[in-house]
Structure 1
Amino acid sequence: MQFKHIIGQEAVKQRLMATVRDNRVSHAQLFLGPEGSGSLALAVAYAQYLSCEDKQDRDSCSVCSSCRKYEKLVHPDLHFSYPFFAKDKNDTALSFIEQWREAFLANPYLNLDLWRGYLDAENKQANINIAECHQIIKKLSFKPFESAYKVLILWLPEYLEKEGNSLLKIIEEPQPNTLFLLVAQNQDQILNTILSRTQLVKIPALAYDDIKLDLMENHHQTELAASEIAYLSNGNMTEALAMLKQSDKGFHALFVQWLRLCYGNKGSEIMAFVDQAAKLGRENQKNFLRYGISFIRECCLLMAGAGSLVHLPPQELDTAQKMTGVMNTAMAQAISAELEKAHYHVERNANPKILFLDVSLQIVKVLNFKTLPLGTHYIPN
């Protein structure tokens, strides 16, 4: 994995390469970034750059022996640890290394749900068990085999429970030229004893323009389609790639149609919409609701006078500006809350007809009767 194959994050890339050039490589680092930010891919690219035999100014060479092995994740000095669904108490990450390589090479913006799909998870809970901790200690007790550094990339240390304390000594006093790269999403869920022993590398969510450009250049999306997906993904490339697999149902047109029906309290037409929404399928329903939440948020920005922060194509921006004439901030917040609750219930397999009918009625209350869903507080025109 080379840095150039990772979307955006130019400032982080430059900072990581500078630590290698200046010989300031900390032996234990925590790559902390939200899902879909590319933090795991950055950790692999960093390890490859560190081990490259012919480092370039802006990236690893990709042709030396070390780089070729890194590209296939088979370098003898590169080790991975990650949550898995153990069938036996003696299972370790090595038991699933082939699935791991397949999953990462297929999608470097891996999340736990995608990883689950490569394993026989059944109803088991993912974790990093004590057997894996002992395996880590054993692997890292040896000197590097080929490269200057032996590297362990530990993905999602949030799944290390109290067993993770067994790693403290080797993290604090590792063998020479041993590098720990922890890749996490939630700092609060990491053991404090481990957190205090690492150097933090903060990785932001991806920029809207970076996702849009990648979708157009590498996934052959039109500018309009790329704009909508980038907008919906909210900086999460994992979500953006998942949306590519979903059929395009014209979320903007459908959402605006829904609001207009609710504004006019068109009973029979609302029922027709409910039938249409119920047939979208679970993933498209989630994307549709996510679009609605994002669109209402942009309306709120317009009403707050923060138009410079709005990311909408011209047609959608025109619609949003018109929407601000028929609702105020309190109404927009009430609608957004209903959409968020609906998204939560769709994820949990709620009956779509009942769900979309209920949400429609709540939006009718807000837009047509100008009352909050509780029905007790009237909003002034």
Structure 2
Amino acid sequence: MFFKDVVGQNEIKKRLIRSVKEQRISHAQLFAGQSGTGKLAMALAYAQYISCRNRTDEDSCGVCPSCHKYQKLAHPDLHFVFPIFNAKNLNKPVSDDFLPQWRGKVLQSPYFTLGDWLHHIDAGNAQGEIYERESESILRKLNLKSFESEFKVMIIWLADKMNVACSNKLLKMIEEPPSKTLFLLITENEEDLIGTIRSRSQLVKFPFIEAEAIEEALLKIEGIDPEIVPDAVHLASGSYIRALSYLNPGEDERFYLLKFQEMMRFAYARKVSELITWADEMAGIERDKQKAFFAASLRLVREYFISNLKCRELSYMNREEMEWGKKFAPFINERNIVPFAKEFELGIQHIGMNGNPRIVFLDTALRMVRLIKR
């Protein structure tokens, strides 16, 4: 991964390059920011730049043996930790057991979500976690001498998914790191990390990506229709992942919209039996998708409320959502927008706490009956 391939974030690129030139590389750095801001891509580019034997003032050379191995994510001094699940065919799995799938996913594009990753490894209802046993694997790897590079690099993607025991063991390694070790922790929920890890890591805050940078990156995609790029950039709202999702809506996005439409239609018509069937169906999907549905519903009611205010510049809907909203948006108003939002936020919370999904979805659906006619 090269710095030039990271979308936007030029100030962070300059800061990281300067740290290498001035030999002021902090041994533990926390890349924090919203989904789609390029944290994983930047971590890969930074690690490759540090290990490059012929780096320039702006980027890795791309031709030395180290760069060739980094471009395949196969460098012996590059290590990864990421959320996994307890697969039935594996005994106490760690990240290395999923490394081939990880390399394939990242090489395809380093811009993806936790849901994308869990779907890629067929995690089913598992929410993805970094288990305590992972810390033993980290310690074993980092206590070895570097094979080729000056630094051993450990990239921990979504470090906030570490359980408490793993976090505490990692803290000890960060406090007393092995020689020439670099921890790059990536998080989208900085507050979910234990405070001692945050305080001992150098924070690199990733802002939303500039619209110009997203537009430039999208126009480089082969076969892209230039006419839809402005809409994609607007909808992205600073997230390159959202921009890509607009260009190529996945099955999940269509599914969430369809189920939102069904819920609201049944609620408006007061079809309780259909709502019960709908809740049963939603209870059968993966838990991560259940949370994603509530998050999508929360976004949709916000967008339809904004649509009622005639503020096009503040609305972030794709064409299908906008078309359906022409009839539905008037039902989201100042009398029910706050209760709607609270119900969907509560749904995310309850599913995240392993609540019974059938009860959660049925309760939410029945509350829609009361709210939609306010």
Q: TM-score, normalised by structure 2?
A: 0.71
**Maintained 8 Å contact 2:211/2:238:** yes
**Superimposed CA distance per residue, residues 6-54 of structure 1 (whole angstroms, 9 cap, x where no aligned partner):** 1111111111111111111100000001111110111111101111111
Of 226, 231, 234, which aligns to 1:231? 234
Match of 2:41 in 1: 41
**Structure 1, residues 186-221: CA drift from partner, whole Å, max 9, x if none?**
011112232221110001122333323322331543
Question: In percent, how many aligned pairs have the same letter?
Answer: 37
Aligned with residue 138 of structure 2, among 136, 139, 148: 136
The residue matched to 1:42 in structure 2 has which SS? helix
Q: Do the aligned partners of residues 295 and 115 (structure 1) sit closer, same or farther apart at CA in structure 2, a change above 3 Å counting? A: closer
Shift of 1:173: 1.5
Give, in whole Å, the separation in 1 of the partners of 2:189 and 2:250: 27
Judged with a 3 Å threshold, the aligned counterparts in structure 2 of structure 1 residues 207 and 48 are, in CA distance, closer, same or farther, namely same
Q: What is the SS of the residue equivalent to 2:105?
A: helix
Query: Cα distance 1:359–1:128, how it changes in 2: closer, same or farther (>3 A)?
Result: closer
Instruction: Give the ranges of 4+ consecutive aligned residues of structure 1 lying more than 6 Å apart after TM superposition.
Output: 246-249, 285-291, 306-312, 327-344, 357-364
Specify every segment of 5 or more residues in structure 1 that has no aligned partner in the other structure, as ranges: 250-266, 268-281, 313-326, 351-356, 367-381
Do the aligned partners of residues 18 and 310 (structure 1) sit closer, same or farther apart at CA in structure 2, a change above 3 Å counting?
Answer: farther
**Matching residue of 1:74:** 74
What residue is the counterpart of 2:60 in the other structure? 60
Instruction: Give the match's secondary structure for 1:218.
Output: coil
Indicate whether 1:181 and 2:184 are aligned: yes
Aligned twin of 2:129: 127
Match of 2:165 in 1: 162
Find the counterpart in structure 2 of residue 10 from structure 1.
10
Q: For 1:308-328, what per-residue CA distance to the aligned partner results, in whole angstroms no more than 9, with x for missing partners?
A: 97899xxxxxxxxxxxxxx99
Q: Cα–Cα, structure 1 residues 291 and 23, in superposed 2: closer, same or farther, change >3 Å?
A: same
Give the letter for the 2:210 counterpart: A
Report the CA distance shift for 1:112/1:69 in structure 2 as closer, same or farther (over 3 A).
same
Q: Whose radius of gyration is greater, 1 or 2?
A: 1
Q: Name the CA distance, whole Å, in 2 between partners of 1:95 and 1:45.
A: 24
Alpha-carbon RMSD across the aligned residues, in angstroms, is: 5.1
5+ unaligned residues in a row in structure 2: which ranges?
Answer: 255-268, 270-284, 318-331, 350-355, 359-364
The within-5 A match list for 1:1-381 is 1-86=1-86, 87-89=90-92, 91-158=93-160, 159-242=162-245, 243-245=248-250, 296=304
Q: How far is 1:225 from its partner?
A: 1.8
Structure with larger RCO (C-alpha < 8 A, sep 6+): 2
Counterpart amino acid of residue 216 in structure 2 = L
Q: Work out the number of aligned pairs and report it.
A: 351
Q: Distance in 2 between matches of 1:101 and 1:288?
A: 29
| SS at 1:35 equivalent | coil
TM-score by structure 1 length?
A: 0.70
Which residue type is aligned with residue 61 of structure 1? C
